[in-house]
């Protein structure tokens, strides 16, 4: 407690003062000011019993301060006069005028203080003297002279207002002064006599010494603390006096008062929470208690004002408890309705527990719950994940889940399914990334800690109860404080997700879907995850969603990719992951760290936004594993591909990222032993290119990210099989031209595969026309056919490609001309294309899928969406073509250079010459 006030005190006193002035300004009469000031100081004073006392004390101290300041200024003036310094005199004069204003405000009287008048007279005299003394005037410096002149004018103007007073004072200076002095003394003694005075005076005295209005000394703080504790006591006393005396009205009035102070300067946030908490105990009706509880929670949210910081953890916990109490009340009194749409009646909460009709209380449970969740999330973002604190914090998760479950239950009971879906989403977002093991651990922890917590919880209220008066409205703990988790996280997800699908809005559903996909992928159910992804069409419109949903989408894609790899679907895995890695901004895409871009600086604003989006550490997808999986997938696809297109290697590129890395690693003069994931995969690639599957596997096996996988053995086994397979394919691609025939036995031996496997792989290659060969069954040999396209044939192929590109773009041009939506099509298409590049490989299924979807659209709506979809696919294909083209033209470029361009060039020459010749003729 003390520390809290230490931190608060300084600013409080200062603010308090300025506040105070404001109030006085606002309220005209001295009387009312007194009341306001009193109530502000002694907040427990419901009845203004000892108001006058308080008022006097406070006002006087302020007045004193002002007077003191004025005296100081006058002293300064005197000094300035002595040295004939008109510049400083002028400054002081301005200052004293300002001070006068304040004093006038403080005293609230029309009478100008004598001190001021005295000062004016003094100045007048001095001025006259100075003006009379012509010689001295001449000697003055120019600035001084200027000051003197302006002073003369100012004083003349100023003194006109007070002419009367000045004259009066000149007539009778002594008496006035005496009287004033007496008064002063009186006040002094008065002040010191009062026991309550100490703190404020202490504070003030330091102020005076500083001459400034900002007392940030420890003394002031200490005083403040003292005052507060006193006030607390007062408050307690006020209500302790006689429970029966407390009426709904008093509580309500007090409540309004406290709430009104919310957000004002000088309102201690903690203090407010405490006051409100106290009020909950003395609330007369359940509805009132509820109302106050809502305010408590709001106040608790206010404790941390910044967007970046998080709520203190203990406050958060209390907040959760308060929410539970709210739910208790709501369950106990089903006739109370919480609503944030209507402004309820002023005295709605007066209706007691026995009131039968519905009582409307303002509040929004879902908003509160979401805020609590956000705070939890934020706290996890802020806390260093490698500390114990983080783990401790994570343990609070079940607490929140309990609350969420209860809120959801309640909402379902009152049939507010929309909100229930929102709450369910919050639960889903806490559950979806947990593998079964983590989920089990959480479940156990919840059971254990709940047991312990239960005791503690029992203790705590007791302590409070004994401390304060027992609450008027006792709320039994109706809502369960213990989370009930199903055995299987999947079943929990299913329940929540189906609720959301039924009742949620678009965004909620989309997010739930993504979580669902993620969760399925986590559980190695690739086909389900993929089907969900495709059915939801999230890929089509994810671009239009908010950033956090996009991040969730990226996470889901990454997880689906990992899942595909685990179940041995290499191409699919690569399809999911390649897009993530295409930009080199994986961290950013997954919100697992901020990546610095060399090319454009981020504004601080952007950076802050990004930081706020970051995933807490425990939700991270291991980036190394992700990279390893991505690169291995790329390797398994790319190595045979490179081998099959040795002649024009640029022709078909499956993974650009991989190619780039490979180029970089090939450029190295010496290759050291592999260190990071990338090096490992590159080393494996080199081995695989030579067909050395064993070495490739060993290198990959030595990666230590594999221990992050649950079924490590199976995955590695699968990987080994795949590597062998691709090694065989690579070997066949590379060396098929060197063989007339190749025996099956030889191959099986070379690659340590079974005969059936080898047979099937080779057959598949034959069917796909990758390998021009046939089986010779009796001898169990592969007989290679040397099929080589003649140049003419190759050219014909090339030409057909070109033609299809041309036809494609022609169609598009026609589309733009006749079909609608030609305008923003290019933009959308580009987006889609990016996507097509990635998930298209999730399976051929996807393409079919969207395609048919597009077709359906044609029949239904205008050509807009219908036109967009299939085109996007076409575009992707076109992109492929164009890549091909560039590769090819490079390949045959030499040839063109020799004939085509050479000829054209010479022709151009010829015609140019003819022109010139012609000119010659004319000339």
Partner 1 sequence: MANSMARSFLQVAATEEVASPLRVVQIEGLVILKIIKHCKEFSPALVTGQLLGLDVGSVLEVTNCFPFPVREEEEEIEADGANYQLEMMRCLREVNVDNNTVGWYQSTILGSYQTVELIETFMNYQDNIRRCVCIIYDPSRSNQGVLALKALKLSDSFMELYRANNFSGEKLREKNLSWVDIFEEIPIKVSNSALISAFMTELESDTPVTQCDYDRLQLSTNPYMERNMEFLIECMDDLSMEQQKFQFYNRSLSRQQAQQQAWLQKRRAENMARKTAGEEPLPEEDPSNPIFKPIPEPSRLESFLITNQIANYCNQINGVAGQSFNRLYLMKSLHDK
Q: Which residues bind partner 1 (CB under 8 A)?
A: 790-792, 795-796, 798-799, 802-803, 805-806, 809-810, 812-813, 816-817, 822-823, 826, 885, 889, 892, 895-896, 899-900, 903-904, 906-923
Look at strands 336-339 and 359-362 and give their pairing: parallel
> In the complex, what is the shortest distance from the CB of residue 868 to partner 1, in angstroms, rounded to a whole number?
16
Reduced 3-state DSSP string for 856-874? HHHHHCCHHHHHHHHHHHH
> In the complex, what is the shortest distance from the CB of residue 900 to partner 1, in angstroms, rounded to a whole number?
6
Backbone phi, psi, residue 727, to 5°: -65, -40
> In the complex, what is the shortest distance from the CB of residue 646 to partner 1, in angstroms, rounded to a whole number?
23
1 vs 806 by CB, closer to partner 1: 806
> In the complex, what is the shortest distance from the CB of residue 885 to partner 1, in angstroms, rounded to a whole number?
8
359: left (phi over 0), alpha (psi -120 to 50) or beta: beta
Angle at 647 between CA 646 and CA 653, to 5 degrees: 60
> In the complex, what is the shortest distance from the CB of residue 817 to partner 1, in angstroms, rounded to a whole number?
8
> In the complex, what is the shortest distance from the CB of residue 798 to partner 1, in angstroms, rounded to a whole number?
6
208 vs 808 by CB, closer to partner 1: 808
CA distance linking residue 380 with residue 477, whole number of Å: 29
612 vs 885 by CB, closer to partner 1: 885
DSSP 8-state symbol, 775: E
Reduced 3-state DSSP string for 493-553? HHHHHHHHHHHCCHHHHHHHHHHHHHHHHHCCCHHHHHHHHHHHCHHHHHHHCCHHHHHHH
711 vs 882 by CB, closer to partner 1: 882
173 vs 891 by CB, closer to partner 1: 891
> In the complex, what is the shortest distance from the CB of residue 871 to partner 1, in angstroms, rounded to a whole number?
13
Closest C-alpha to 587, from 554, 548, 560: 554
Question: If you search the block for the tokens 């089907």, which residue do you land on?
Answer: 531
**Residue 351 CB neighbours (<10 A):** 21
391 vs 796 by CB, closer to partner 1: 796
CA distance linking residue 156 with residue 131, whole number of Å: 13
> In the complex, what is the shortest distance from the CB of residue 808 to partner 1, in angstroms, rounded to a whole number?
9
435 vs 826 by CB, closer to partner 1: 826
Coil, strand or helix: which one is 359? Answer: strand
Closest C-alpha to 659, from 674, 676, 681: 681
**Cβ distance 696 to 688 under 8 Å?**
yes
477 vs 801 by CB, closer to partner 1: 801
> In the complex, what is the shortest distance from the CB of residue 865 to partner 1, in angstroms, rounded to a whole number?
19
> In the complex, what is the shortest distance from the CB of residue 918 to partner 1, in angstroms, rounded to a whole number?
5
308 vs 886 by CB, closer to partner 1: 886
> In the complex, what is the shortest distance from the CB of residue 805 to partner 1, in angstroms, rounded to a whole number?
6
260 vs 914 by CB, closer to partner 1: 914
Coil, strand or helix: which one is 718? Answer: helix
> In the complex, what is the shortest distance from the CB of residue 819 to partner 1, in angstroms, rounded to a whole number?
12
466 vs 790 by CB, closer to partner 1: 790
**Residue 109 CB neighbours (<10 A):** 10
**What are the tokens at 744?**
């099956």
131 vs 914 by CB, closer to partner 1: 914
30 vs 796 by CB, closer to partner 1: 796
DSSP 8-state symbol, 622: P
DSSP 8-state symbol, 351: S
> In the complex, what is the shortest distance from the CB of residue 615 to partner 1, in angstroms, rounded to a whole number?
39
CA distances from 773 to 308, 708, 747, 871 (A): 66, 43, 15, 37
441 vs 814 by CB, closer to partner 1: 814
> In the complex, what is the shortest distance from the CB of residue 653 to partner 1, in angstroms, rounded to a whole number?
21
Closest C-alpha to 84, from 131, 120, 153: 131
**What are the tokens at 593?**
């760290």
CA distance linking residue 8 with residue 3, whole number of Å: 9
DSSP 8-state symbol, 259: H
Helix and strand tally (H, E) in the chain? 41, 5
> In the complex, what is the shortest distance from the CB of residue 790 to partner 1, in angstroms, rounded to a whole number?
8
**Is residue 572 within a helix (H) or strand (E), and if so which, with residue range?**
helix 570-582
Q: At what angle do helices 269-282 and 218-240 cross, to 10 degrees?
A: 10
Q: What is the DSSP string of 175-234?
A: HHHHHHHHHHHHHHHHHHH-TTHHHHHHHHHHHHHHTSS---SHHHHHHHHHHHHHHHHH
DSSP 8-state symbol, 781: E
> In the complex, what is the shortest distance from the CB of residue 866 to partner 1, in angstroms, rounded to a whole number?
20
CA distance linking residue 920 with residue 420, whole number of Å: 92
> In the complex, what is the shortest distance from the CB of residue 922 to partner 1, in angstroms, rounded to a whole number?
6
CA distance linking residue 547 with residue 801, whole number of Å: 39
> In the complex, what is the shortest distance from the CB of residue 292 to partner 1, in angstroms, rounded to a whole number?
52
609 vs 912 by CB, closer to partner 1: 912
102 vs 651 by CB, closer to partner 1: 651
**What are the tokens at 452?**
């312990």
Q: Could you tell me which residues come within 8 angstroms of residue 283 by beta carbon, excluding any fewer than 6 positions away?
A: 251, 289, 292, 471, 472, 473
1 vs 914 by CB, closer to partner 1: 914
**Cβ distance 868 to 821 under 8 Å?**
yes
CA distance linking residue 570 with residue 103, whole number of Å: 83
150 vs 798 by CB, closer to partner 1: 798
**Cβ distance 473 to 328 under 8 Å?**
no
């Amino acid at each position: 407690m003390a520390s809290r006030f230490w931190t608060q005190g300084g600013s409080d006193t200062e603010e308090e003062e300025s506040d105070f002035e404001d109030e006085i300004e606002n309220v005209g009469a001295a009387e009312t000011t007194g009341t306001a000031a009193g109530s502000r100081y002694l907040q427990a004073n419901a009845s203004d019993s000892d108001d006058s006392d308080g008022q006097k004390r406070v006002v006087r101290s302020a007045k004193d301060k002002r007077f003191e300041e004025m005296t100081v200024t006058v002293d300064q003036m005197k000094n300035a006069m002595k040295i004939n310094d008109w510049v400083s005199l002028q400054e002081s004069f301005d200052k004293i005028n300002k001070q006068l204003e304040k004093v006038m405000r403080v005293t609230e009287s029309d009478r100008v203080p004598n001190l001021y008048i005295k000062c004016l007279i003094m100045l007048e005299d001095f001025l006259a003297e100075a003006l009379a003394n012509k010689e001295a005037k001449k000697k003055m410096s120019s600035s001084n002279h200027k000051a003197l002149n302006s002073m003369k004018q100012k004083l003349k103007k100023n003194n006109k207002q007070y002419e009367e007073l000045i004259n009066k004072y000149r007539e009778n200076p002594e008496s006035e002064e005496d009287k004033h002095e007496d008064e002063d003394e009186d006040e002094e003694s008065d002040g010191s006599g009062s026991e309550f005075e100490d703190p404020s005076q202490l504070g003030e005295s330091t102020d005076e010494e500083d001459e400034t209005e900002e007392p940030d000394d420890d003394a002031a703080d200490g005083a403040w603390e003292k005052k507060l504790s006193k006030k607390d006591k007062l408050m307690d006393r006020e209500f302790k006096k006689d429970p029966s005396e407390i009426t709904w009205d008093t509580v309500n009035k007090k409540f309004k008062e406290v709430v009104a102070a919310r957000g004002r300067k000088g309102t201690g946030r903690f203090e407010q929470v405490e006051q409100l908490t106290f009020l909950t105990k003395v609330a007369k009706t359940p509805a009132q208690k509820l109302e106050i509880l809502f305010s408590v929670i709001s106040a608790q949210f206010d404790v941390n004002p910044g967007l970046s910081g998080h709520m203190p953890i203990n406050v958060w916990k209390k907040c959760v408890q308060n929410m539970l109490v709210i739910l208790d009340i709501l369950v106990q009194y089903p006739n109370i309705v919480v609503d944030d749409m209507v402004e309820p009646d002023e005295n709605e909460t007066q209706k007691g527990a026995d009131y039968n009709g519905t009582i409307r209380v303002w509040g929004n449970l879902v908003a509160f719950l979401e805020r609590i969740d956000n705070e939890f999330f934020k706290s996890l973002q802020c806390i260093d994940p490698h500390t114990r604190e983080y783990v401790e914090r994570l343990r609070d998760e079940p607490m929140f889940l309990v609350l969420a479950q209860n809120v959801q239950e309640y909402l379902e009971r009152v049939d507010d399914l929309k909100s229930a879906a929102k709450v369910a989403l919050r639960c889903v977002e806490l559950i979806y990334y947990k593998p079964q093991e983590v989920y089990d651990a959480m479940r156990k922890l919840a059971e254990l800690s709940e047991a312990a917590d239960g005791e503690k919880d029992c203790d705590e209220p007791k302590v409070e109860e004994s401390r304060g008066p027992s609450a008027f409205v006792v709320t039994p703990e109706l809502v369960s404080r213990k989370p009930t988790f199903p055995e299987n996280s999947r079943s929990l997800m299913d329940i929540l997700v189906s609720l959301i699908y039924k009742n949620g809005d678009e965004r909620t559903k989309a997010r739930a879907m993504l979580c669902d996909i993620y969760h399925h992928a986590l559980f190695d159910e690739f086909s389900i995850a993929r089907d969900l992804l495709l059915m939801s069409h999230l890929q089509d419109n994810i671009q239009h969603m908010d950033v956090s949903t996009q991040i969730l989408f990226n996470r889901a894609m990454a997880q689906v990719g990992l899942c595909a790899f685990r179940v041995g679907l290499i191409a699919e895995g690569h399809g999911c992951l390649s897009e993530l890695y295409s930009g080199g901004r994986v961290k950013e895409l997954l919100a697992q760290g901020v990546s610095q871009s060399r090319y454009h600086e981020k504004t601080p604003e952007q950076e802050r936004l990004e930081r706020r989006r970051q995933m807490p550490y425990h939700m991270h997808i291991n980036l190394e594993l992700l990279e390893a999986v991505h690169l291995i997938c790329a390797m398994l696809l790319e190595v045979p591909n490179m081998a099959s297109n040795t002649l024009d290697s640029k022709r078909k590129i499956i993974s650009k990222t991989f190619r780039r890395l490979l180029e970089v690693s090939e450029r190295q003069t010496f290759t050291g032993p592999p260190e990071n994931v990338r090096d490992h995969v590159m080393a494996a690639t080199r081995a695989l290119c030579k067909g050395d599957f064993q070495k490739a596997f060993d290198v990959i096996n030595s990666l230590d990210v594999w221990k992050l996988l649950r079924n490590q053995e199976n995955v590695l086994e699968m990987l080994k099989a795949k590597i062998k397979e691709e090694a065989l394919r690579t070997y066949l691609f590379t060396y098929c031209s060197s063989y007339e025939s190749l025996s099956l036995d030889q191959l099986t031996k070379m690659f340590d595969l079974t005969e059936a496997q080898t047979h099937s792989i080779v057959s598949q290659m034959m069917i796909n026309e990758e390998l021009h060969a046939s089986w010779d069954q009796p001898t169990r040999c592969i007989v290679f056919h040397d099929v080589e396209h003649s140049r003419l044939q190759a050219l014909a192929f090339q030409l057909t490609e070109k033609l299809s590109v041309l036809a494609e773009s022609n169609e598009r041009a026609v589309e733009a001309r006749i079909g609608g939506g030609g305008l923003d099509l290019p933009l959308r298409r580009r987006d889609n294309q990016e996507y097509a590049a990635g998930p298209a490989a999730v399976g051929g299924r996807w393409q079919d899928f969207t395609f048919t979807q597009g077709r359906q659209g044609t029949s239904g709506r205008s050509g807009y969406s219908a036109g967009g979809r299939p085109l996007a696919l076409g575009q992707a294909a076109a992109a492929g073509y164009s890549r091909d083209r560039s590769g090819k033209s490079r390949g045959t470029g030499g040839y063109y250079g020799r004939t085509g361009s050479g000829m054209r060039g010479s022709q151009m020459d010829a015609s140019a010459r003819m022109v010139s010749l012609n000119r010659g003729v004319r000339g």
